[in-house]
Structure 1
Amino acid sequence: MNELLAHKLDTDTHDWWRGAVIYQIYPRSFADSNGDGVGDLAGITAHLDHVASLGVDAIWLSPFFTSPMRDFGYDIADFCDVDPIFGTLADFDALVARAHALGLKVLIDQVYSHSSDQHLWFKESRASRTNPKADWYVWADPKADGSPPTNWQSVFGGPAWTWDARRGQYYLHNFLREQPDLNFHNPQVQDATLATAKFWLDRGVDGFRLDALNFSMHDPELRDNPPAPDTGKPRTRSFDFQQHLYNQSHADIPAFLERIRKLTDSYGGRFTVAEVGGPNPEGEMHAFTAGEARLNSAYSFAFLYADRLTPALVRDAAAGWPAEPGMGWPSWAFENHDAPRALSRWVGEAHRAAFARVKMLLLLSLRGNAILFQGEELGLTQVEIGFADLQDPEAIANWPLTLSRDGVRTPLPWRAAAPALGFTSGRPWLPVGGDHAALAVDRQEADPQSLLNLTRQLIALRHAHPALITGTIAIREAGDALLVFERKAGQALFCAFNLGEQAVPLPADFRDRRVVQAVNGATLDVLPPFAGLIAE
């Protein structure tokens, strides 16, 4: 507790979010308070003690807004209300109050790329070409032969345009056809969106995670995307056959972000982080966070979609964010609601327990913010979901070639012996993991050597060392298995990780240092398989 108090006091001397540990909550799968099988806001509030006990700085809530749930909350029909399946605005206010009482900041998703087709804005926009919101969405005439205006493809497969007979035009949707794209080239759309952000800031939220931000503006000239080169990897979606030069990533996006930053700064102490997808996101991430007038941070899918965790991957990720004037601040996530569980991607079953420990040490040692996805502190694995139980529209559309996002969204296991592992008293919306009972919170609470208790220890360690929060990072070695880097902020800490199945010796200069933290039997002489340490 002394270390935690020291960290809270230290945040007075720098932005609270710089180097923060953020815990992502997927509301549908965290905790169900009313037995309908779907997690809700009251369930989150009732279990916030667990999150606070980790020592994290903030929670990030995935969407809980009014929605027909075609994409499980990322198709929003009212940006300023809570969907009844999750509760009420009063439930949200109670959640924020409880989180703040526990010392947790609250971040929420903002989806600025699109809305639901059930949103009142879209219903008005599609009614005619002359109504006040006619230009609030991306509409375009067909080609002479009636085909779509461009060759753009949807992330979820098929053309990114849907015909609408009422207007006699196509509308753009980079995701589902039920998710029409807002036209952020229109200042009125920007104003309306900023008004929704202000609504939540006034309710006490501490910042935003901005979803699919690089999809928020299109090319007004409606130029076709060029084909993508064949890399030899399987392409399961029509989206994968193009270079996405014109349906996303427009050069005017940063100017809109400056408006967001001006609003959040007016409230003081607020934090903004962008999600940036795509095969080469670094340029956009830097543009979105450059200087002091744009977003505070950004993260990509560099780790989330990687099929292996290698020293080279970490080296390249760190190299993209040097500690230079004007350079933004990175955030890192190894898991989230859109990517398969890291333990199922990165290591075989025989080594998962050890790998979970070294992975947690690595994540909490990197320069930047560390984002933990719910259940990552338990070492949850990806769950195989049969076709009959699939909920994910992308997986259903591309079955069986696209790995389902449902497998990472399964209910959190609270009590090993309880029905549905304590998530709900009813039938859970997704099946619980067959191997998750052994990883349940109550089991790990009782085991001093559990990953859950190690996670608490490592977060406290991070908070106790400024070098791990805001210090520089210098990669010393990135070999086939051995990764060594230095974190420095006055004090210098040397972090070493073996990401392979064979023991590796440490450089000779480690023998004169003192171990601050070690996992999986690491010593100053040798790192066993999937072991790591921090030394000073």
Structure 2
Amino acid sequence: MFKSTVIALSLALALNACTKAPDNNTSNAVAAAPAATAQAQAPWWQDAVVYQIWPRSFYDTNADGIGDFKGIQAKLPYLQDLGINAIWLTPMFEAPSYHGYDFTEFYEVEQDYGSMADFEALVQDANSKNIKVILDLVINHISSEHDWFKRSAAGETPYKDYFIWRDELPQDGWGPAWNKEVKPEAVWHWNEQRKAYYYAAFGASQPDLNLTHPDVVAEMKKAAKFWLDKGVAGFRLDAVRYAIENGPGQQADTQQTIDYWVDFTQYVKSVNPEAYLVAEAWVDIPVAARYWGEGKGLDAGFDFDFGYKVLELLNAGAQNAEFGTMAQHKRAGNSLQNNFEDRKASGAPFEFFSPFLTNHDQPRLAWQLGRDFNKAKLAAAMLFASPGTTYIYYGEEIALTQASDKEHMHRRSPMFWDGSNQAGFTTADKVWVQSDQLFPPQGDTSWWAPFLAEQLKGATTVAAQQQDPKSVWSLYKFLIAQKKRPEFGIAGEYRAELLADGKLLKLSRTLGPQQSVILLNLSAETQAIPAELVPQGLHISWQEDETPELGAYQLQIWQS
């Protein structure tokens, strides 16, 4: 058992999750703020759990094989039972693509998902259940089929300058915004009508808006207000790094871009001071911190580094920053502790960073972990032990996987609810990923049926896992509940320690007398639990089986 002196030493060394970045002389043992004070000052999202939904793949209620607003609404009791505080809906505005990141309208919902009345009913019902709704708002670019672009191509005033045009293909070093490749044809695209090139970082069908044009700036604010007035709680802002590009070497994170988001944030806060803005800045922590804007910018940014560190600990291999730039340099010491220290030293408040494992732009966690349910549990424990607003990608709570990574839609395929037709996602004969004509061009669609059949042989559905008290789903529900404990909040101290030659990972969260200790076996061999690591005065709140050892990739949790 832990001796009292060991506990005291552990508490003394624990790191405090400060709300402001400490100076270089600040001790790692800063006393945590009283929980009551921290809670009184905290915005609603600070220690929240947010569940990311790909609407097309969540739940279908009208038997067309496509998820819809009514489907999300029908599953609100499920989400409420799971314990989440908010849902983030990936793009649900009218768009020509399956993914929706190329709006043709800012004020109309995607007709595949239902009507505006359906969406409004979803928001109202969610709010009545204390579940906030966050929308994916894409401001960097829109669809080439949008009326603004058509008018711009025609040279109409004022639309002709709503986008960025050049008469000749630039030859001065332009390339993709997220790497150093010199390839101007990757970002500059010919328009036959205007006889000119337009800038589109994400492909010809998604031209970048000119966010230095006052009319465009005003239009983006108008769109934000429209949805805030409908009761949404805020926005996940796509591709924030690329808002205003100023040429080769200045295509990401420019000062004009930071200033743009400060201005946008100040407007949104004038409409609703409680509105939440989270940045998709796929970049290392020090650069992502700039979007805080010295307290006038965005409320939060995703901590991409955290997920990379978790996958590294679980031997998932190198991670690919497909739409970002991550250094991914190896450092001495515990990678999770390094991540924690980097967040503290970033220049932004610690709570600015929101940890997550994967999202819709990355291969699914379970697929990267070789469909190992135990490893998925370890990843979940690491996620929820980390302070901040926690994000879950739909299906991670059941270790939902994918057939392959040939196309991005494999990362975004339907949810597995039960063992019935199409895993309970729809009563239709086919789901949207089986349509060869729906969103051409795309690859072979024959992968879905054998993938589904194979997956349904195991406990891969919500219904199956809800019956198992030790399933991935059951652990997620347990961990979400722990976020309500004071030591799991921003004010709680955090420490990650690698033990037994890196085979064991100990995560500690402490706030005053409240303590939680998570011990994870990172190896494929059974590990004895050293007697001195068993916390004195704490009880086991989670264990895989009642043995004095940790099996391969198992965990135990002790709490006060």
Picking from 249, 268, 273, the partner of 2:273 is: 268
- How far 1:314 moved relative to its partner? 2.2
- Provide the secondary structure at the position in 2 that maps to 1:81: coil
* Partners of 2:556 and 2:293 in 1: CA distance: 33
**1:188 maps to which residue?**
215
**1:337 maps to which residue?**
360
- Provide the secondary structure at the position in 2 that maps to 1:217: coil
**2:282 maps to which residue?**
277
- How far 1:436 moved relative to its partner? 3.5
Picking from 472, 482, 486, the partner of 1:461 is: 482
Q: Does residue 124 of structure 1 match 2:124?
A: no
Contact 1:148 1:161 (C-alpha < 8 Å) held by counterparts: no
Q: Go from structure 1 to structure 2 and tell me whether the alpha carbon gap of 1:282 and 1:209 turns closer, same or farther (over 3 Å shift).
A: same
- Provide the secondary structure at the position in 2 that maps to 1:170: strand
**2:292 maps to which residue?**
289
Q: Go from structure 1 to structure 2 and tell me whether the alpha carbon gap of 1:446 and 1:532 turns closer, same or farther (over 3 Å shift).
A: closer
Contact 1:304 1:339 (C-alpha < 8 Å) held by counterparts: no
- Provide the secondary structure at the position in 2 that maps to 1:381: coil
**2:452 maps to which residue?**
433
Contact 1:380 1:436 (C-alpha < 8 Å) held by counterparts: no
Q: Does residue 379 of structure 1 match 2:402?
A: no
- RMSD of aligned alpha carbons: 2.9
Aligned residues: 477
Q: C-alpha offsets along residues 379-407 of structure 1, whole Å, 9 cap, x if unaligned?
A: 112223xxxxxxxxxxxxxxxxx743222
Contact 2:143 2:206 (C-alpha < 8 Å) held by counterparts: yes
Picking from 514, 536, 549, the partner of 1:512 is: 536
Q: Go from structure 1 to structure 2 and tell me whether the alpha carbon gap of 1:403 and 1:319 turns closer, same or farther (over 3 Å shift).
A: farther
Contact 1:522 1:532 (C-alpha < 8 Å) held by counterparts: no
Q: Go from structure 1 to structure 2 and tell me whether the alpha carbon gap of 1:11 and 1:93 turns closer, same or farther (over 3 Å shift).
A: farther
Q: Does residue 301 of structure 1 match 2:301?
A: no
Contact 2:417 2:425 (C-alpha < 8 Å) held by counterparts: yes
**1:447 maps to which residue?**
468
Contact 2:289 2:347 (C-alpha < 8 Å) held by counterparts: no
Contact 2:163 2:209 (C-alpha < 8 Å) held by counterparts: yes
Q: C-alpha offsets along residues 176-223 of structure 1, whole Å, 9 cap, x if unaligned?
A: 21000111122322221111111100000011111111121201xx33
The letter of the residue matching 1:302 is: D
Contact 1:68 1:77 (C-alpha < 8 Å) held by counterparts: yes
- How far 1:478 moved relative to its partner? 3.4
* Partners of 2:259 and 2:60 in 1: CA distance: 40
- Provide the secondary structure at the position in 2 that maps to 1:273: strand
Contact 1:65 1:78 (C-alpha < 8 Å) held by counterparts: yes
Q: Go from structure 1 to structure 2 and tell me whether the alpha carbon gap of 1:290 and 1:436 turns closer, same or farther (over 3 Å shift).
A: farther
**1:73 maps to which residue?**
100
Q: C-alpha offsets along residues 430-460 of structure 1, whole Å, 9 cap, x if unaligned?
A: 2363444332222223333332222212211
**1:258 maps to which residue?**
262
Picking from 61, 66, 71, the partner of 1:38 is: 66
- How far 1:112 moved relative to its partner? 1.4
Picking from 481, 489, 493, the partner of 2:516 is: 493
In the TM superposition, what are the counterparts of 1:331-370 in structure 2 within 5 Å? 331-346=354-369, 348-349=370-371, 352-370=372-390
Q: Does residue 210 of structure 1 match 2:214?
A: no
* Partners of 2:408 and 2:79 in 1: CA distance: 23
The letter of the residue matching 1:420 is: Q
- How far 1:43 moved relative to its partner? 1.2
The letter of the residue matching 2:339 is: A
Q: Go from structure 1 to structure 2 and tell me whether the alpha carbon gap of 1:313 and 1:120 turns closer, same or farther (over 3 Å shift).
A: farther
* Partners of 1:504 and 1:477 in 2: CA distance: 17
- Provide the secondary structure at the position in 2 that maps to 1:494: strand
**1:55 maps to which residue?**
83
* Partners of 1:506 and 1:112 in 2: CA distance: 53
- How far 1:511 moved relative to its partner? 4.0
**1:424 maps to which residue?**
426
Contact 2:85 2:132 (C-alpha < 8 Å) held by counterparts: yes
Gapped regions of structure 2 (runs ≥ 5): 1-34, 315-332, 434-447
The letter of the residue matching 1:40 is: D
Q: C-alpha offsets along residues 318-350 of structure 1, whole Å, 9 cap, x if unaligned?
A: 22211898525211111221111112213x45x
Picking from 99, 113, 123, the partner of 1:96 is: 123
**2:57 maps to which residue?**
29
* Partners of 1:174 and 1:325 in 2: CA distance: 29
- Provide the secondary structure at the position in 1 that maps to 2:209: coil
- Provide the secondary structure at the position in 1 that maps to 2:495: strand
* Partners of 2:231 and 2:494 in 1: CA distance: 38
Q: Go from structure 1 to structure 2 and tell me whether the alpha carbon gap of 1:150 and 1:88 turns closer, same or farther (over 3 Å shift).
A: farther
Picking from 111, 133, 151, the partner of 2:174 is: 151
- Provide the secondary structure at the position in 2 that maps to 1:196: helix
Q: C-alpha offsets along residues 64-101 of structure 1, whole Å, 9 cap, x if unaligned?
A: 111011x6200111112102111111111000011111
- How far 1:513 moved relative to its partner? 4.6
**1:114 maps to which residue?**
141
The letter of the residue matching 2:427 is: S
* Partners of 2:383 and 2:43 in 1: CA distance: 20
The letter of the residue matching 1:339 is: Q
What's the % identity of the aligned pairs? 30
TM-score, with length taken from structure 2: 0.78
TM-score, with length taken from structure 1: 0.82
Q: Go from structure 1 to structure 2 and tell me whether the alpha carbon gap of 1:497 and 1:81 turns closer, same or farther (over 3 Å shift).
A: same
* Partners of 1:458 and 1:317 in 2: CA distance: 21
Q: Which has the higher contact order (CA 8 A, sep 6+)?
A: 2
Q: C-alpha offsets along residues 398-439 of structure 1, whole Å, 9 cap, x if unaligned?
A: xxxx743222211111220x2111111221012363444332
Contact 2:51 2:88 (C-alpha < 8 Å) held by counterparts: yes
